[in-house]
Amino acid sequence: MNDSPGWASPGSSPSDRSPDEEQAAHASGSAPQGAPSNEPPRNWAAQQPPAQGVQGWGAPPPGQPGWGNWNGGWNQPPAAKPGTIPLRPLGVGEILDGAVTTMRAHWRTVLGISLGVAVLVQLVATLANGLWMTDATDLDALVKDPQPSTDELWAAMSGSLRLTGLRALVDTLGTVIATAMLTVVVSRAVLGRSVGIGEAWRDSRPQLLRLLGLLIIVPLLVGLAVAVGSAPGTALLAAGVDTLGVAVLLVGLLVGLVGAVWIWVRFSLSAPALMLEKQGVITAMRRSAKLVRGSWWRVFGVQMLATILVVIVASIIQMPATAVGALASGQGLSALAGGTPSTGWAFLIATGIGAVIASTITFPIRAGVTALLYLDQRIRREALDLELARAAGVPGYDQQQADRPTAGS
């Protein structure tokens, strides 16, 4: 049975669909393979204006799934490019470039979404910091007291714990909204179509609660892997076996971290699968696991590269804002060098502005890379490029579809 929800998988092997499914598809009036159609892929997006800038295929499409490997291969045949990416297996550079191109080509929508979310998230964080952390006398007393009592420890840490919990909640909600809406924008951009903020919101809103559940479950699984790995060492330390306990704890933490990374990569494509295929949380996680299977290292490499890029960009923007905040607070740069930055309003506002700018730029890059990596995996495994070409109105794709080898051949 075909376990690829959303679009049909053109190029899937005959064993992927049962006779009942074939009969049902024929009865529903769906176009046979190779028949021209201008209908968009199912669950991809709502009806859109006509595509612009459509190019012809010009040459036979890529061969077997996986063609191109890490860098997309040499001497690639010309491919249709109705939008931000060519409709063929993508190289790493093309995935990163596609995320940036989407942000540049649809900057009003993309930056409008990310800026709005970043402002709301950072406003709550700045207010919480200013109200709960401006008075740092309890923390100063904790640093000066080598043996604080339980009451002193709780008094000093309660504000920080409340702030951490609130920021985690707000950051998660902001990430859900930004990821959902930006994924919709990217899905239209690859077809050469634009979408407004209101339309992106209407299309993504039905999936927001499911996406929230997904972005809670996956981090919990990642944290659980670390906790399970460190549990034996923690138990030995609690029993008073210090030397062995430390050794077991270090090994367990290493194993737990490896397991956490494996889980993160395995489910890293769940968000675009959930948004674009209109599936539930568990189904989206299974879908991601299927797409990542056999390509774990490639997905890991692309995601790590995107993470490093995002961290570098955010740091370049945030460091000057932090320095300006330290100067505005009256403490100077010596406070940063000493590891005790100011918690005054001037410092918080300056660093908050820097965080807003950084998030406005990094949100689209992160969401764009994940969505394009998902599309790339589907192109490699399920010949999704043919469905996208049909949705974009690319001329001549029907003959390409007839000539292209199936995924099971």
How far is it, in rounded angstroms, from Cα 72 to Cα 144? Answer: 58
Average pLDDT over residues 360-368: 93
pLDDT tens per residue, range 165-211? 777 888 888 889 999 999 999 999 999 998 899 999 999 999 999 99
**Tell me, what DSSP letter sits at residue 49?**
P
Cα torsion at 284, 287, 288, 289 (round to 10°)? 120
Q: What is the per-residue pLDDT for 151? A: 61
Residues with Cβ within 8 Å of 232's Cβ and at least 6 positions away in sequence, in order, are 248, 249, 252
What mean pLDDT comes out for the span 388-392?
Answer: 87
Q: Which residue has the higher pLDDT, 76 or 228?
A: 228
Per-residue model confidence (pLDDT) at position 55: 39
Q: Compute the half-sphere exposure of residue 136: CA atoms within 13 Å on the CB side of its CA.
A: 12
User: Domains of the chain: which residue ranges?
Assistant: 97-204+268-380
Tokens of 251: 């090994």
Give the mean pLDDT of 350-368. 92
Write out pLDDT tens, residues 245-261.
Answer: 899 999 999 999 999 99
At 205 the pLDDT is 93
Nearest to 249 by CA among 227, 238, 269, 234: 234
pLDDT band, residue 29 (cuts 50/70/90): very low
pLDDT of residue 266: 96
Reported pTM: 0.74
Lowest mean pLDDT among 75-79, 195-199, 287-291, 294-298: 75-79
